[in-house]
Chains A and B, each alone.
Chain A
Amino acid sequence: DAGVTQSPTHLIKTRGQHVTLRCSPISGHKSVSWYQQVLGQGPQFIFQYYEKEERGRGNFPDRFSARQFPNYSSELNVNALLLGDSALYLCASSLNSLSQETQYFGPGTRLLVL
Chain B
Amino acid sequence: KQEVTQIPAALSVPEGENLVLNCSFTDSAIYNLQWFRQDPGKGLTSLLLIQSSQREQTSGRLNASLDKSSGRSTLYIAASQPGDSATYLCAVSNNDMRFGAGTRLTVKP
Contact = CB atoms under 8 A, between A and B. Distances in A.
B31 A33 contact: no
B95 to A, nearest CB: 6
A108 B45 CA distance: 12
B43 A108 contact: yes
Contacts of A107: 42-43
Contacts of B49: 101-102
A58 B101 CA distance: 17
A99 B4 contact: no
Range of interface residues on chain B? 20 to 34
Given A42-B91, A42-B102, A58 B42 contact: no
Contacts of B32: 99-100
B89 A42 contact: yes
Contacts of A48: 96
Contact of B46 (A58, A88, A102): A102
A8 B99 CA distance: 24
B83 interface: no
Interface string B22-53: 00000000011010100001111110010100
Question: B interface, by DSSP: helix, strand, loop or mixed?
Answer: strand
Interface residues of A, number: 27
Interface string B71-106: 000000000000000000101011111111110000
A110 B43 CA distance: 10
Given A98-B93, A99-B32, A42 B99 contact: yes
Given A41-B101, A42-B4, A42-B102, A98 B42 contact: no
Contacts of B34: 102-103
A8 to B, nearest CB: 14
A44 interface: yes
Given A42-B4, A90-B44, A105-B43, A99 B99 contact: no
Interface of A: 4, 33, 35, 40-45, 48, 56, 58, 88, 90, 92, 98-108, 110
A-B interface, 4 closest residue pairs, ranked by CB to CB distance from nearest: A42-B99, A105-B44, A99-B31, A107-B43
